Structure 1
Amino acid sequence: MKIEEIIDKVNEILVEEFEVDAEVIEADKNLKQTLDLDSLDYVDLVVIIESNFGVKLVEADFVGMITFQDFYNIINNKIAAKNA
């Protein structure tokens, strides 16, 4: 799966499942501030990402994550490691 496909799918999930305005999703924006999700929403996001991409996200994955691009990269790296 290419990074562009990951970005499109993640953005689609955010718009459909979390009612995020597609126009506010930009790669260099702060994910947490932009989404304004509570802790339960983040759990839902993790579950949805895991089921859509077949990868397991753990708390350590989120430590250095700041931007949307960081989030896309984490998913991309998990997929690449799974397929290696």
Structure 2
Amino acid sequence: MNIEIVDIVNKINVILVEEFEVDEDVIEAGKNLKDTLDLDSLDYVDLVVIIESNFGVKLVESDFANVITFQDFYNLIERKILAKQQ
């Protein structure tokens, strides 16, 4: 199963809108993920669980070390999916 980055972005954005009640207009690739979504530590746990169940990947705390923007997050999920397909 090959998944395109566009599909990943769209699916993540739908999840963010539905699960975190975020207006899709505020989701932009270059914006700060944490600040834009106003995420606390429990929200991150929820986000990890939701992403893992929707994409079938495993995320750990260290994965988020370099995630600042939405684009960083999209890239992380894409890398995890590609690594799983190897």
TM-score (norm 1): 0.98
Q: 1:76: which partner in 2?
A: 78
Task: Quote the sequence identity (%).
Answer: 74
Alignment length (residue pairs) = 84
Letter in 1 for 2:43: D
Deviation at 1:21, TM superposition (A): 0.6
Deviation string 1:4-49 (CA, Å, 9 cap, x unpaired) is: 0000000000000110010000000000110001111110000000
Query: For the residues of structure 2 that align with 1:4 and 1:45, how far apart are their CA atoms?
Result: 19
Match of 2:24 among 10, 19, 22: 22
Q: 1:13: which partner in 2?
A: 15
Consecutive unaligned residues in structure 1, runs of 5 or more: none
TM-score (norm 2): 0.96
Query: For the residues of structure 2 that align with 1:37 and 1:29, how far apart are their CA atoms?
Result: 14
Report the RMSD for the aligned CA atoms in angstroms: 0.5
Say which SS state the counterpart of residue 66 (structure 2) adopts: coil
Query: For the residues of structure 2 that align with 1:40 and 1:65, how far apart are their CA atoms?
Result: 17
